[in-house]
A and B are shown apart, each in its own frame.
Chain A
Amino acid sequence: MDFSLSRPKPHRLKPVLLASLLESDFMSAPTTTAATSATCANCSAPTGGAHFCPSCGKIQPLPRGTDFFSFFGLPQKLTVDLEQLEQRFHSLSWKLHPDHFARASDDERQLSLDRSSLLNDAYRTLRDPVARVEYLLGLAGMRKEGQKKQQAPPELLEEVFELNESLDELREARASGGTAAAMAGLRAKLEAAQHKFEASLAAVDQELARVSAEWDAALDSGADETASRKLMEKMNEVLNRRSYIRNLVNGVRQELAES
């Protein structure tokens, strides 16, 4: 891993460091699932699951069950303030950076590596609205491949198969060559297909955003498990539809780039 990538830019470095030294809200008091009963191995003070001991400042091991949300001190909500997330990312990547632990014990150096690497994964996942939903469903065990099967509605399969076939026909026609007029016709068809698929993708993304907002509202109003489960299933279904459409979009984009 290239840690230099995650370092804050020099001009931001000072304010970020200052801010994180002054306000330690999310550093010392995560509100979510990470074990909050942990104590510091160095000074035995309760750490509340923070990255650093609030008492002696030593870097802490990752509590069991740390997820990306709790790592950032966020609730498991799907609406994320991206600016705030980025700020926390920069602040944490600075604080957790292995360079700061060059002269620390082996244990502490390892902890800084563990936390830095989790930080990068967590940031990459949470800043993307689709990856965020996938991750949330994954935490609930709903995106397992293989044994626990995902079902696709038959009408969708028919449609996707037909679209793939027409894309294939276009591809073959292009590969076998043709007159300039035929190729222009082909390109027009591809562009029409692209237009259609991109519109479907935009629609499915909108739907995902809508269900995500519903999820957050349900969380706020303390909805019961049945209701949350239902919303998760809905999100799962939208994500599944999205994978098909995304593949079609990628396929047609690639064709257009090559033709």
Chain B
Amino acid sequence: MAYSDKVVDHYEHPRNVGTLPKDDPNVGTGLVGAPECGDVMRLQMKINPETQVIEEAKFKTFGCGSAIASSSLATEWVKGKTVAEALAISNTDIVRELSLPPVKIHCSVLAEDAIKAAIEDWKKKKEVSEPAANATAGN
């Protein structure tokens, strides 16, 4: 099976590889895995609490080319988006963009899960750091 040009491009020149400070209250970290193939993916984003805009996104993935490409693409896509817009990204968008074959669909699912997990983590942190503000917003 041959990888598509886009996968190869992301694999050879991955965007936004790296680490953001995990303990920063504005950073959400999503760590997910695909046990079938033993891949692990970590996606982090720094989110502006005022505007809810994702200002920075980094990833680190140990896995196959498709997993790396999917997470690399995910970081590109979420940057500059709001949290709500990022949550709307679906794995099928990634499949389409990277022309992933059926056996690699789980890599795109992983990337979608990582986005959601990172945002979830960020939201949890916010609840802890601003319980009052959150309670008001929730009412």
> A residues engaging B (CB < 8 A)?
143, 145-147, 149-152, 154, 156-158, 160-161, 164-165, 168, 239-241, 243-247
Q: In the complex, how many residue pairs between chain A and chain B have their CB atoms under 8 Å apart?
A: 58
Partner pick for A143 among B36, B40, B62, B102, CB 8 A cutoff: B36
What are the residues of chain B within 8 A of A239 when measuring CB–CB? 35
Contact A246 B38 (CB under 8 A): yes
> Does chain A have a CB within 8 A of B31?
yes
Q: Is B123 interfacial (CB-CB < 8 Å)?
A: no
The distance in angstroms between the C-alpha atoms of A160 and B62, with both chains bound, is: 10
- Which residues on B sit within 8 Å (CB–CB) of A165? 60
Is the CB–CB distance between B31 and A151 below 8 Å? Answer: no
Q: Is the CB of B109 within 8 A of A244?
A: no
B106 on the A face (CB < 8 A): yes
Identify B40's interface contact among A146, A157, A246, CB under 8 A. Answer: A157
Are the C-beta atoms of A161 and B35 separated by less than 8 Å? Answer: no
Residues of B contacting A150 in the complex (Cβ-Cβ under 8 angstroms): 34-36
* B102/A247 in contact, CB under 8 A: no
The answer, yes or no, to whether B27 is at the interface (CB within 8 Å) is no
By a CB distance below 8 angstroms, the chain B residues around A154 are 31
Residue from A146, A150, A241, A244 with most neighbouring chain B CB atoms (10 Å): A146
CB atoms of A146 and B62 under 8 A apart: no
With beta carbons under 8 angstroms apart, the residue of B34, B62, B105, B113 that contacts A164 is B62
